[in-house]
């Protein structure tokens, strides 16, 4: 096991191209880091931006969307919809303070097992350079202030303040 911090990346792979390519990478016994947890969808067009935010909010350090190459979508144009959403999502997450490099869209055809490996290696490294995102921890940090109220109230009971 490498000593380096390993990010957790949620992958949304389309059934026809990228998921199959990941299967091919497996059949070909290519080796890549165990950083991407793949969720299979029928099409990259099914990737609801809510899924992306949910993944970040849930603790993902990165999100990788894999679809068929433009023109090759099994459902004709789902990948274009994914591309358009992706472009806006990059702007959106930047607005929320998330480096847009944590979100990646790749066209990986069923034959490109090699590309699955390369993309996962690249993205792992890229996210490693950015460091952990860990939104749940950020939220926990924000919410530490909530516990302070109890003490405040206790103090108030002991020594009432006057305005």
Partner 1 sequence: MESNGEIRIGFYVCHCGSNIGRVVDVPRVADTMSKMPGVVVSRDYKYMCSEPGQALVEQDIKDHRLNRVVVASCSPLLHEKTFRTAVGRAGLNPFYFQMVNIREHVSWVHEDSMEATEKAIALSRAAIHRVVYHRPLETRRVDIKSSVLIVGGGIAGIHSALKLADAGVKVYLVEREMTIGGHMAKFDKTFPTMDCAACILTPKMAQVREHPNITLWTNSEVTGLDGHVGSFKATVVRHPRYVKEDLCVGCLDCIEGCVVRTSDGRSSMISVDAFRKSRSDSNGATPKVAVTKLPNEFDEGLSTRKPVYIPFPQAVPQIVAVDPNSCLQIKTGKCKQTCVERCERDAFDFTQTDTTEEIEVGAIIVATGFKTFDPHRIPEYHYNDYEEVYTALEVERMVNASGPTGGHIEMNNGQRPKSVGIVHCVGSRDFHYNRWCSRVCCMYSLKLAHLIREHTGAEIYNCYIDMRCPGKGYEEFYDRLLAEGVHFIRGRVAEILDWPMSKAEEGKLVLRVEDTLAGFVRRVPVDMVVLSTGLEPRADSEDVRRLFGISCSTGGFFLEKHPKLAPVETTSDGVYLAGCCQGPKDIPDTVAQAGAAAAEALALISRGYIEMEPNTASIDEEECSGCKSCIGLCPYNAIHFDEEKNVAVIDETLCKGCGTCVAACPSGSIKQNLFEDDQIFAEIEEVLAHV
Partner 2 sequence: MSDKPKIAMYWCASCGGCEESVVDLAEDILFVVENVDIVFWPVALDFKKKDVEAMEDGSIVASFINGAIRTTEQEEMVRMLRRKSQIVIAYGSCAQTGGIPALANLCEREAILQYVYHDAPTVKNPEGTRPQLETRENGFRATLPEFHNVVRTLGQIVDVDYYLPGCPPSPKLLKEAVIVLLSGNLPPKGTVLAPDKALCDECARKETKPETMEIEAFHRPHNTPVDPELCFLAQGIVCMGPATRAGCGAACTCGNMPCTGCYGPTSRVEDQGAKILSSLMANLAPKDEEGIRKALEGIPDPVGTFYRYAVAGSLMRGKLTK
Strand pairing of 36-41 and 103-107?
unpaired
Partner in contact with 31, chosen from partner 2, partner 1, none, beta carbon below 5 to 8 Å by kind: partner 1
Asked if 158 interacts with partner 2 (CB under 8 A), we say no
Number of H helices and E strands in the chain, helices first, is 5, 4
Asked if 74 interacts with partner 1 (CB under 8 A), we say yes
Closest CB 128 distance from partner 1, rounded Å: 14
Task: List the one residue from 27, 149, 154, 157 that touches partner 2 (CB under 8 A).
Answer: 149
Half-sphere exposure of 28 (CA within 13 A, CB side): 17
Asked if 43 interacts with partner 2 (CB under 8 A), we say no
Task: List the one residue from 89, 103, 119, 127 that touches partner 2 (CB under 8 A).
Answer: 89
Binding mask 44-63 for partner 2 (x = CB under 8 A): -x--xxx-xxx-xx------
Q: Are 113 and 25 in contact (CB under 8 A)?
A: yes
Closest CB 143 distance from partner 1, rounded Å: 18
What is the arrangement of strands in the sheet containing 62-67, beginning at the earlier edge strand?
A: 36-41, 9-14, 62-67, 103-107
Partner in contact with 163, chosen from partner 1, partner 2, none, beta carbon below 5 to 8 Å by kind: partner 2
Asked if 146 interacts with partner 1 (CB under 8 A), we say no
Q: At 87, list the tokens.
A: 């472009």
Partner in contact with 27, chosen from partner 1, partner 2, none, beta carbon below 5 to 8 Å by kind: partner 1
CB nearer partner 2, residue 3 or residue 158: 158
Please state, in angstroms and rounded to a whole number, the distance separating the CA atoms of residues 32 and 21: 13
Asked if 4 interacts with partner 1 (CB under 8 A), we say no
Helices marked H in 42-134: 49-58, 78-95, 113-130
- Angle, in degrees to the nearest 10, between helices 135-158 and 49-58: 60
Closest CB 129 distance from partner 1, rounded Å: 19
């Amino acid at each position: 096991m490498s000593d380096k911090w390993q990010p957790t990346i949620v992958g949304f792979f389309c059934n026809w191209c990228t998921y199959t390519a990941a299967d091919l990478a497996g059949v070909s016994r290519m080796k890549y880091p165990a950083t991407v947890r793949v969720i299979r969808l029928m099409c990259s067009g099914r990737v609801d931006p809510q899924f992306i935010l949910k993944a970040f909010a849930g603790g993902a350090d990165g999100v990788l969307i894999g679809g068929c190459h433009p023109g090759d979508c099994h459902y004709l144009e789902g990948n274009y919809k994914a591309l358009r959403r992706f472009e806006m999502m990059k702007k959106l997450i930047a607005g929320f303070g998330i480096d847009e490099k944590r979100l990646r869209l790749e066209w990986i055809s069923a034959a490109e097992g090699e590309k699955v490996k390369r993309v996962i290696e690249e993205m792992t490294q890229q996210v490693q350079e950015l460091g952990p995102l860990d939104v749940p921890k950020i939220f926990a940090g924000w919410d530490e202030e909530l516990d302070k109220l109890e003490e405040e109230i206790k103090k108030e009971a002991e020594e009432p303040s006057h305005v």
